[in-house]
Chains A and B, each alone.
Chain A
Amino acid sequence: MDSTHSNPMSLCSQADSQRTLYPYVTGTSVIGVKYKDGILMAADMGGSYGSTLRYKSVERMKPIGKHSLLGASGEISDFQEILRYLDELILYDNMWDDGNSLGPKEVHSYLTRVMYNRRNKFNPLWNSLVLGGVKNGQKYLGTVSMIGVHFEDNHVATGFGNHLARPILRDEWHEDLSFEDGVKLLEKCMRVLLYRDRSAVNKLQIAKITEEGVTISQPYSLKTFWGFSAFQNPTVGAEGSW
C-alpha cells in the first residue's frame, strides 16, 4: 500500500508478524446524525484495495441486537471480526432470557473496551466505528476509533467525514430533524464526500434506527454535476498540452 512503510520482516520476529500493521481492504467515511425518531446513518458501499476501488457492494452498516446500528470504516475484515464478537455478545445476552437486552450505550462501551485493549497490545482492529441506537425512548450516538478514542455527540463521522461532513453538520444540524430533512442533510454531506474523497463510490445506503427497529435502505446513487465552465476545455492555457 503505502510505500513509506519500511519492510516489516527486517524489524520484527515471528510473533510480531501476527500483528496488524496496515489495512488492506478499507471502507471510507460513515456519517451519523440524531434526528426526531432516532438515528440516521449513511455510508457508501465501497471497499478499496489501496487506490483501487475494488469492491462496490460492501455493506458497512449492520444492525446489532434489537436496539443498535453499527457503521464502520477502515479494514473490512476487522469489521467482520467485530461483527462476530458482537454476535456472540448479543447471543449470550439473549440466552439470559431475563427481559433485558443490551442497548446502544452498553454496546458502545463494549466496543470501546475491545478497541482500546487491542491498541494497547499494538494489534489494533483497524476501524473507526459509529454506533447509534434507541432504547426506551433514549437516543444514543457514539463513535470509537482504532486507538480507543470514544465519545458521543449529536452528529459523528469517521475519516474524511470528520473534515468534510462535520462542518456542514455543525452549521445545519438541529434538534428534532424530520426524517426527510435528516436524509437530505446526510445526502448533502455524502455528495461532498463523493466529490472530494477519492475512495468514495457513488453507491450508498442510508440506515435508520428508531424504537421500532432498524431499516437499511436499498443501495442508490447521488446525482452529481460536472458541468462547470472550468471543466470545458480544461487544457486551454496549459503549456504544451493539446
Chain B
Amino acid sequence: MSSIGTGYDLSVTTFSPDGRVFQIEYAAKAVDNSGTVIGIKCKDGIVLGVEKLIASKMMLPGSNRRIHSVHRHSGMAVAGLAADGRQIVARAKAEATNYQSVYGEAIPVKELAERVASYVHLCTLYWWLRPFGCGVILGGYDRDGPQLYMVEPSGVSYRYFGAAIGKGRQAAKTEIEKLKLSEMSCRQGVIEVAKIIYGVHDEAKDKAFELEMSWVCEESNRQHQKVPDDLLEEAKAAAKAALEEMDAD
C-alpha cells in the first residue's frame, strides 16, 4: 500500500492529514530493500542470521560484518543503510558499557532494547535530523533467559520469538511460524535459520550472498558469538540440500 504524500513528506516533523509521518515510512523502505535478517528465540537461546548480499566479487569474505556484539551477552543484526547501522551499534555498545559501570552488571536485554529504541526514536523528532534508515534485531541472554527484540526506524520496539526484516521478510516470517521454536535447541535453530535464508534468497534478482550467523545460548556459555565454523558449514550444507530437494519437486 503505497501513496504519495505530496507536500506532507518533506520533513519528519510534519504529519499528513491521515496521521502518518511519511519520512519514517520512507526510512522503513530502506530497510525493506536490504538483505533479509532473521532472529529466532529457541528453547535455550537466540540465533541471528543475515543474508549478506555481496555487492562486488572484490570484497573479502567475512568483511562488512552485519552482526555485532553489543556486550558479552547480547548482539544485534542490522538491516538497511549500513552506515546508519554502525551508529546504532556504537550507541548500543555505549549504553551497555554505561549500564555496566553504573549498576555493576550486564544490561538486561529489555533495558538495552528500550534505550536503543528511544535513541532511534529521537531522530524522528527533529527536523534537522533524519530517521535511521535501518532496522535492528537484538538478541541477548540475561537473568530472565533468552530474549529477542526488534527495533524499527520509527523507534518502535517489540519483543518477539521470531522476527524477520528486509527483502525476504514475508516468506521468512511464514517459514518461522512453521517452526516449533519452544522445543528447538539453538543447534537445531542454526540449521533452520540457514535453511530459511537460503530459501528466501532470490537467485534471479540478487546474485551472490554470504550467510552470517551468530548465537547466544547455553552452548556458547551465554556469550554472544559467531556460530562456530563447523556448525556453520553443517548448516550451509543442510540448507543447500533442502533447496535442491525443493527444486527437484
Contacts and interface: CB of A to CB of B under 8 A. Distances in A.
A94 B97 CA distance: 13
B175 to A, nearest CB: 28
B226 A97 contact: yes
B101 A95 contact: no
B97 A88 contact: yes
Contact of A94 (B65, B72, B100, B101): B72
Interface of B: 65, 68-72, 93, 97, 100-101, 225-226
A91 B93 CA distance: 10
A97 B69 contact: yes
A114 to B, nearest CB: 16
A92 B97 CA distance: 9
A77 to B, nearest CB: 14
Contact of B65 (A84, A88, A92, A97): A97
Interface of A: 84, 88, 91-92, 94-95, 97
B65 A91 contact: no
A102 to B, nearest CB: 16
Residue of A88, A92, A94 with highest tally of chain B CB at under 10 A: A94
A88 B101 CA distance: 9
Given A97-B65, A97-B69, A91 B97 contact: yes
Contacts of B100: 88
Contacts of A95: 68-71, 93
Given A88-B100, A91-B97, A94-B72, 16 more contacts: A84-B101, A88-B97, A88-B101, A91-B71, A91-B72, A92-B93, A94-B69, A95-B68, A95-B69, A95-B70, A95-B71, A95-B93, A97-B65, A97-B69, A97-B225, A97-B226
Nearest to A88: B97
Nearest to A95: B69
Contacts of A88: 97, 100-101
A95 B93 CA distance: 9
Nearest to B65: A97
Nearest to B96: A91
B64 to A, nearest CB: 13
A92 B100 CA distance: 13
A44 B72 CA distance: 31
Contacts of A94: 69, 72
Contacts of A92: 93
A38 B67 CA distance: 36
B103 to A, nearest CB: 13
